[in-house]
Amino acid sequence: MTRADQPDIDAIAHGQHDDPCRWLGFHKTEQGWVARTVQPGAEKVTLLVGTPPVPNCEATRLHPGGVFEAAITSAPPGLQYSWSVQWPGAAAQHIGDPWHVGPQLGELDLHLLREGTHNDLGSVLGAHAMQVEGSDGVRFALWAPNARNVSVVGDFNGWNRVTHPMRHRGESGIWELFIPGIVPGARYKFALRDRHGEVLPDKADPCALQAEFRPATASVVANPTPYHWRDAAWLAGRHDAQSTAAPISIYEIHAGSWRRVPEEGNRPLSFRELGEQLVPYVAELGFTHIQLMPISEYPFDGSWGYQPTGLFAVSSRFGTPADFCAFVDACHDANLGVLLDWVPGHFPTDSHGLGRFDGTALYEHDDPQRGFHPDWNTLIYNYGRTEVVNFLTANAHHWLDSYHLDGLRVDAVASMLYLDYSREAGQWQPNQHGGRENLEAVAFLQRVNTDVYRAHPGSMMVAEESTSWPGVTRAVHDGGLGFGYKWNMGWMNDTLRYMARDPIHRAHHHNELTFGLVYAFSENFVLPLSHDEVVHGKGSLLGKMPGDRWQQFANLRAYFGFMWTQPGKKLLFMGGEFAQQAEWNHDSSLDWHLLEHAEHSGIQHLIKDLNHLYRSEPALHRDDVGPAGFQWLDADDAMQSTLTYLRHDGADGWALVVCNFTPTPHHGRRIGVPRDGHWVERLNTDAGCYGGSNLGNAGSRVADPIAAQGQAYSLQLDIPPLATVVLTAPNP
């Protein structure tokens, strides 16, 4: 190449060159060695050589757009060079040459990316601060196979798309560039032209590890300093702590509204502040896990994180990646597992996001009947595209690897599984077999679950799946989706509907309490009382309860007692533990002042005791997923709205549960039990310490040799109004 290559010069000057690495940097021409750079707006550019750098020669301006070339009479192998750039009205700036070094991504990485099996995508694509050939800087890499050209724009180049065009890595569709001199904290985006040369909106990095604080939308170069974890003991014992035989009681939180700082503009707590305040609070209440609503970067607060634009980035609302590591470490130090809501089902249409990323439907399905959500006005991933499946699967690994998370709760699984989800006839096309199942989404879910459980033994994959899709928690090799747990949405809907009824009408809807046991062991279930039940006009849990104020609290206490003694792991959204009175508002703190009132603090006391009982009594958790751990004594007493049942630990442990969902107490009620001796009243939701009427059984009852309800022995119990009572068997 020579200076006469005017088309190349023009293309470089306008940011339109298809192969800038063939022209920029250090090259041997017919006239000798030259170095070329593009510095739009520069007054003068001088070539510096050696270490330390010394001026060699002034570069010649080849184009008014800032293309410069410096000729060197001789160039020894390994020549170190850089540039001194004089800007108008400013001191000269020392700039490294990004074209001085060759490609940084190896052939193995490119092969795995093409194959769709690169599970460490977050460390390959995106922006990574590193040292290359003695120069500190940042390596940028991006997948954009249909772009004509791509450049990096940011603080470091005045957001000029001409200065740093990227190197195209052929059929892989990868673009990369190492830029010397950039440091962590720098803001950046990618500037793309589509295959026709049209300028696209600047895009945030799909694999960015950090992003700007909203409403700004740039990506941020993350600090590469590794976090020093101290949770080895937790990780070593995690398998047992998350097995189906373990007590799992989950506290779901929205990090932005658990507690705010009113004296500082009502800001939310940071990750480190959550580690200091949330973690000991949840541990004291006896929960085993914290589940975070999505914290991947998202632009709109009102989406609660369920419309993310940066799946690999920890939201800047709460701190840095290192801050989030410290939060997880604090949880593990307190023997709390950490689950994260994960959103692979859809993404928003924001112009800086993934939509039409390189001018084509790259991440989303091109057919709007499969690529657009009418409910949420969002785009749907193309689960049939190898690179997209790799992107999502690698993202799951990223959260579990980089942040030591203990599992993912996968959002909106039903919307992924069905081609006709929220679509009328004529708005969807059947699969190749004529069915409504999205076979590509099924294959993706099976793959991500298989990969996660193989790579992260003891972790949890939890499905929010609201239909009766068979085998959600069945192993993939048996035809299932391969999740570890599934939210039991049917149980939640039925029982909340029942509890909202006036007790005088409950006799006619008794099956709403009992129907869940018909299918309770068809999946590994979590019983959820989640954020979805306290928003959009649904009111709070307390507000759903009928009757006067005393009855509302009594109903809620009885319901919690029922929930904690049913088969299935437990999940409670923040605020429910002290009977938050108002509907949840993501823009404000929970109403912590309510704890000044005895009835609210009584609910909190009850949740603590329920968690303690649930964790300490194997009969209440050991056989949650099999019918041997549950036995009805009387499921049919609809007229008095009572339930009696036994829980069994598979050995010698028994727990008796009696629920009364009317405001009428029952005295001297005979209940069958499988063993004689003193049965200890372990919990009574009507106890005075919880705000109840204090009707109980004096701490224990002795079983009589009188058969009842199919058992050889029985207890004569006083059953309080609107209450759940739990007694445990004597030691054999």
* CA 6, chain centre distance (Å): 51
Structural class in CATH, domain 232-487: alpha beta
Question: In the chain, what is the straight-line distance between the N-terminal and C-terminal CA atoms, in Å?
Answer: 92
Question: Which segments within 315-389 are labelled E, that is strand?
Answer: 337-342, 372-373, 378-379
pLDDT tens track for 333-381: 999 999 999 999 999 999 999 999 999 999 999 999 999 999 999 999 9
Check whether 75 has a pLDDT greater than 70: no
Backbone angles phi, psi at 486, to 5 degrees: -135, 135
Which residues fall within 8 angstroms of residue 55, CB to CB, at 6 or more apart? 46, 47, 48, 84
pLDDT tens track for 429-487: 999 999 999 999 999 999 999 999 999 999 999 999 999 999 999 999 999 999 999 99
Structural class in CATH, domain 620-728: mainly beta
Q: Residues 146-156: what's their mean pLDDT?
A: 95
Output Rg (C-alpha) for the chain, integer angstroms: 31
Q: Residues 684-699: what's their mean pLDDT?
A: 96
What percentage of residues in the chain have a pLDDT greater than 70? 99
The pLDDT of residue 100 is 85
Distance separating alpha carbons of residues 151 and 38, to the nearest angstrom: 12
Do the strands 174-180 and 135-143 form a parallel or antiparallel pair, or are they unpaired? antiparallel
Residue 676 DSSP one-character state: -
The pLDDT of residue 76 is 66
Q: Residues 198-213: what's their mean pLDDT?
A: 97
Which residues in the chain are classed under CATH 3.20.20.80?
232-487
Residues 107-220, CATH architecture: Sandwich (2.60)
Higher confidence at residue 483 or residue 78? 483
pLDDT band at 4 (very low <50, low <70, confident <90, very high): very low
* Separation in Å, CA 82 to CA 48, 153, 529: 5, 20, 61
Q: Which residues of 425-447 are buried (b: 16+ CB within 10 A; e: fewer)?
A: eeebeeeeeeeeebebbbebbbb
* The dihedral formed by the CA atoms of 492, 495, 500 and 505, expressed in degrees to the nearest 10: 160
**If we measure between CA atoms, which residue out of 335, 317, 313, 286 comes closest to residue 606?**
286
Residues 6-100, CATH architecture: Sandwich (2.60)
Residue 202 DSSP one-character state: P
pTM: 0.95
Q: Identify the residue whose tokens are 């949740």.
A: 607
pLDDT band at 72 (very low <50, low <70, confident <90, very high): confident
pLDDT band at 27 (very low <50, low <70, confident <90, very high): confident
The pLDDT of residue 5 is 81
Which residues fall within 8 angstroms of residue 273, CB to CB, at 6 or more apart? none
Check whether 667 has a pLDDT greater than 90: yes
Positions marked active-site: 411, 464
pLDDT tens track for 594-635: 999 999 999 999 999 999 999 999 999 999 999 999 999 999
**If we measure between CA atoms, which residue out of 301, 486, 481, 311 comes closest to residue 390?**
311
The pLDDT of residue 6 is 84
Q: Which residues of 113-151 are buried (b: 16+ CB within 10 A; e: fewer)?
A: bbebebbebbebbbbbbeebeebebbbbbbbbbebbbbb
The pLDDT of residue 140 is 97
Question: Number of C-alpha atoms within 13 angstroms, CB side, residue 23?
Answer: 27
Do the strands 289-292 and 337-342 form a parallel or antiparallel pair, or are they unpaired? parallel
Q: Residues 165-181: what's their mean pLDDT?
A: 93
| 417 CB burial (10 A radius; 0-12, 13-18, 19+) | buried
Question: Which segments within 146-210 are labelled E, that is strand?
Answer: 149-154, 167-168, 174-180, 187-193
Question: Number of C-alpha atoms within 13 angstroms, CB side, residue 2?
Answer: 3
DSSP line for 386-435:
HHHHHHHHHHHHHHHHHS---EEEETTHHHHHBTTTT--TTS----TTS-
Preceding omega of 215 cis (within 30 degrees of 0)? yes
**If we measure between CA atoms, which residue out of 458, 663, 672 comes closest to residue 554?**
663
Check whether 1 has a pLDDT greater than 60: no
The DSSP element (H or E) to which 323 belongs, if any, is helix 321-333
Check whether 86 has a pLDDT greater than 70: yes
Which residues in the chain are classed under CATH 2.60.40.10?
6-100, 107-220
The pLDDT of residue 170 is 85
Backbone angles phi, psi at 107, to 5 degrees: -65, -30
The pLDDT of residue 2 is 45
Write down the mean pLDDT value for the chain: 95
Question: Other C-beta atoms within 10 Å of 274: how many?
Answer: 27
Q: Identify the residue whose tokens are 């339109």.
A: 16
The pLDDT of residue 18 is 83
Distance separating alpha carbons of residues 534 and 540, to the nearest angstrom: 5
Q: Identify the residue whose tokens are 């029985």.
A: 714
pLDDT tens track for 547-582: 999 999 999 999 999 999 999 999 999 999 999 999
**If we measure between CA atoms, which residue out of 5, 9, 1 comes closest to residue 37?**
9
Preceding omega of 52 cis (within 30 degrees of 0)? yes
The pLDDT of residue 487 is 98
The pLDDT of residue 661 is 98
Distance separating alpha carbons of residues 92 and 87, to the nearest angstrom: 7
